[in-house]
């Protein structure tokens, strides 16, 4: 068949067109996400032969019970959750004014430069950025140099370092949706608010914030979920701090206990699902 006859054949057949368009991405998504996730879920209920270290298909809930009952996992879960929440809050605090400036104050040229500046770190390697922070946080680093005149010390490698580094890493993902959110607030509405007697601060609270709330939540999903699953940053700037990801990594690698690793990974997945369910009602998922 020639190209022309193929188009002639397809033109009136909308469903066939749709099927042709959607089959590859659906297959891809199905394989990569659904099947991989399902395999992980299933693995959590298998076991490991203690002698050979081989994964055995022998159904047990031991792994899941262990993860849910042992104090270690509870502590690490709470720590991970705390870090993720802190990172999210820090990112929002920094992102809102930056995004506001970009969307509402900067002139087009400046805005363009700022968008590039915000996105540029995403084009650099993750590891490079984290090692840069390792250098910053070190006892001879820039932070120590900057704060020592005030009698302070660098936070060094630990939870604070992890929170700072993760906040830095995910900031672009938080700024961009909030920037888009501010951009969708028409200037006319700000004028209308002023016209009706509201000062700048009142307008911000009564008009702008309610309108960009979904955008803020959308940004928070990135910071929160990415923090929840991270383990490399903790390894590099976390000192002895461990997050859930580190436990998963240790069990996949050193401990060679894939089923336990799978069981641990169910925790962040569960938390994210709860989080998404909670934000779904705010309409934030529609502004992603």
Q: Which residues bind other proteins (CB under 8 A)?
A: 186, 188-189, 191-199, 202, 206-207, 210-211
Nearest distance, CB of residue 277 and other proteins, angstroms:
23
In the complex, the smallest distance separating the C-beta of residue 223 from other proteins, rounded to whole angstroms, is 24
- The answer to whether 216 and 99 have CB atoms below 8 angstroms apart is no
Nearer to other proteins, 211 or 269 (CB): 211
* Residue whose CB is less far from other proteins, 207 or 223: 207
Q: Is 285 helix (H, G, I), strand (E, B) or coil?
A: helix
Angstrom distance (rounded) from CA 7 to CA 4: 5
CA atoms within 13 A on the CB side of 282: 20
Neighbours of 149 (CB within 10 A): 7
**Token couple for 217:** 């939540």
How far apart (Å, rounded) are the C-alpha atoms in residues 117 and 139? 28
At closest approach, how far in Å is the CB of 206 from other proteins?
7
Please state the closest distance from residue 180 (CB atom) to other proteins, in A: 16
Contact between residue 288 and residue 214 where contact means Cβ atoms under 8 Å apart: no
CB of 200 to other proteins, least distance (A): 9
228 to 86, 143, 195, 201, 266: CA distances (angstroms): 11, 26, 44, 34, 12
Cβ proximity to other proteins: between 120 and 196 the closer is 196
Query: What is the SS3 assignment for 203?
Result: helix
- Indicate the residue among 14 and 286 with the shorter CB distance to other proteins: 286
Cβ closest to other proteins, residue 15 vs residue 199: 199
Residue located via tokens 């910053």: 136
- Complex with other proteins: residue 20 or 210, whichever CB lies closer: 210
CA–CA separation, 170 and 160 (whole Å): 16
CA 100 to chain centre: 21
Which residues are paired to 55 by β-bridges? 48
Contact 48, 42 (CB under 8 A): no
**Least CB distance from residue 188 to other proteins, whole Å?**
4
Least Cβ distance, residue 186 to other proteins (angstroms)? 7
Name the residue nearer to other proteins (CB basis): 10 or 209: 209
Nearest distance from C-beta of residue 110 to other proteins, angstroms: 17
DSSP letter for 44, please: T
Q: At CB < 8 A and 24+ separation, what contacts does 195-203 make? A: none
Nearer to other proteins, 177 or 268 (CB): 177
């Amino acid at each position: 068949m020639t190209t022309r006859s193929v188009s002639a054949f397809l033109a009136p057949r909308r469903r066939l067109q749709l099927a042709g368009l959607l089959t590859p991405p659906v297959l891809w998504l199905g394989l990569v996400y659904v099947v991989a996730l399902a395999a992980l879920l299933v693995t959590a209920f298998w076991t490991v032969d203690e002698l050979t270290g081989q994964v055995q298909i022998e159904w047990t809930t031991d792994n899941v019970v262990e993860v849910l009952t042992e104090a270690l996992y509870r502590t690490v879960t709470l720590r991970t959750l705390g870090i993720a929440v802190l990172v999210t809050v820090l990112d929002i605090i920094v992102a809102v004014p930056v995004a506001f400036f970009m969307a509402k104050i900067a002139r087009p040229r400046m805005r363009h430069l700022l968008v590039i500046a915000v996105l540029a770190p995403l084009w650099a390697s993750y590891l490079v950025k984290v090692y840069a922070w390792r250098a910053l946080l070190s006892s001879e680093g820039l932070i120590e140099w900057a704060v020592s005149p005030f009698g302070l010390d660098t936070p060094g490698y630990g939870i604070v370092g992890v929170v700072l580094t993760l906040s830095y890493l995910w900031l672009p993902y938080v700024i961009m949706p909030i920037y888009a959110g501010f951009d969708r607030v028409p200037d006319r509405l700000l004028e209308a608010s002023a016209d009706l007697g509201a000062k700048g601060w009142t307008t911000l609270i009564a008009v702008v914030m309610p309108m960009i709330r979904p955008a803020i939540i959308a940004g928070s999903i990135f910071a929160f979920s990415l923090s929840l699953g991270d383990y490399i940053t903790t390894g590099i700037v976390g000192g002895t701090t461990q997050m859930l990801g580190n436990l998963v990594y240790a069990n996949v690698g050193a401990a060679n206990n894939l089923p336990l690793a799978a069981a641990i990974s169910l925790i962040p997945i569960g938390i994210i699902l709860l989080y998404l369910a909670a934000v779904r009602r705010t309409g934030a998922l529609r502004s992603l």
